[in-house]
Amino acid sequence: MFMMQALNEDGSSYEKGKRRMKLVRLLCILGVLTGAVVVGSCSRSNSLGDNAARAVLDRLWNQPDVYFLLGDVKFVTRNPVTAQGQDSVQEWPLYQAFARDGVITIRNQKDLTKHFTGWNDWLSLTQDNIRLSATVGLTAKGRARGTLIHQGHVAELALKVATIKVNRIVSNDEERTGSDLYHVVVGTLTYNVPKDMSAAFAAARGWNHVRKRRFRVLLKYDAINKDWVEVASDIANQTSEFHSDNVTSVLQSLNWKNR
């Protein structure tokens, strides 16, 4: 007389299956306790826990945040075209601050709102929305501190000035739209600008110099590059409500397209 051993669907014994599951659970527990990466049955490669979300946002947000066009630059009131050597006139305080710091040089400065030298200046001011023009140069200090970027015939100096630290993840919700995986992450962050640049940041970017902030960001999983990318975000003073609704608007649009 013999007892038939129970089999799983793949033909393996039930007892072997139980032992394997115990081993997997043990490996998962050890991975959590030691911080080791355990692949396979423990978690999906595209999962995004709170710690992972914090790391992704710290990386995405700590990129260059100040860009200086080099050469003959025109500062316009709206819709600057980098390829045409144009920058926003709102960035002018930052140009001045970094010139004082020895990162760039400014020559041939001309304020078209105060000095007309002819018909061309009047057309530039009234038709092309140009308020200022200047020749911006790169110093050895600027070359060592930043990254030089070339876009066609235009050169640009990229610098990282402010530092962003995600302090707390308040919520981290998964959203699936069609075959795409998203996460809506809400939390708080600290935005630190060096004291010597704080006034210039405030003048150029308004409330952007506020240190304590809240955020709501929509992240999408890029299955090809196996990484998360930012799709939309809302930022506000930590003590205020959000004044924009970019994340919700984008999600609604995505859900509508996949109905």
Q: What is the pLDDT of residues 218-235, one digit of tens each?
A: 999 999 999 999 999 999
Confidence of residue 118 (pLDDT cuts 50, 70, 90): low
DSSP at 223: T
The yes/no answer on whether domain 45-62+162-257 falls in CATH 3.90.105 is no
* Average of per-residue pLDDT across 153-173: 94
Confidence check: pLDDT of 38 > 90: no
Comparing 82 with 46, which gets the higher pLDDT? 82
With a cut of 70, say whether residue 207 has pLDDT above it: no
Confidence of residue 209 (pLDDT cuts 50, 70, 90): low
The model scores a pTM over 0.75: no
Residue 106 — pLDDT band, cuts 50, 70, 90? very high
Mean pLDDT rounded to a whole number for the chain: 81
Q: Which residues pair with 155 in a beta bridge?
A: 150
Segments of the chain assigned to CATH 3.10.450: 45-62+162-257
Pairing of strands 154-159, 66-69: antiparallel
pLDDT of residue 69 exceeding 90, the answer is yes
Residue 154 three-state SS: strand
Q: What is the token pair recorded at 218? A: 């929509």
The answer to whether residues 245 and 234 touch, using CB atoms and an 8 Å cutoff, is yes
- Hey, what are 20's tokens? 């394997």
DSSP code, position 192: E
Residue 175 has pLDDT above 70, yes or no: yes
pLDDT of 131 strictly over 80: yes
**Across residues 136-153, what is the average pLDDT?**
94
Sequential DSSP letters for 41-68: SS--TT---HHHHHHHHHHHHSS--EEE
Digit-coded pLDDT (tens) for 178-192? 889 999 999 999 999
Q: Inform me whether the pLDDT recorded for 6 exceeds 80.
A: no
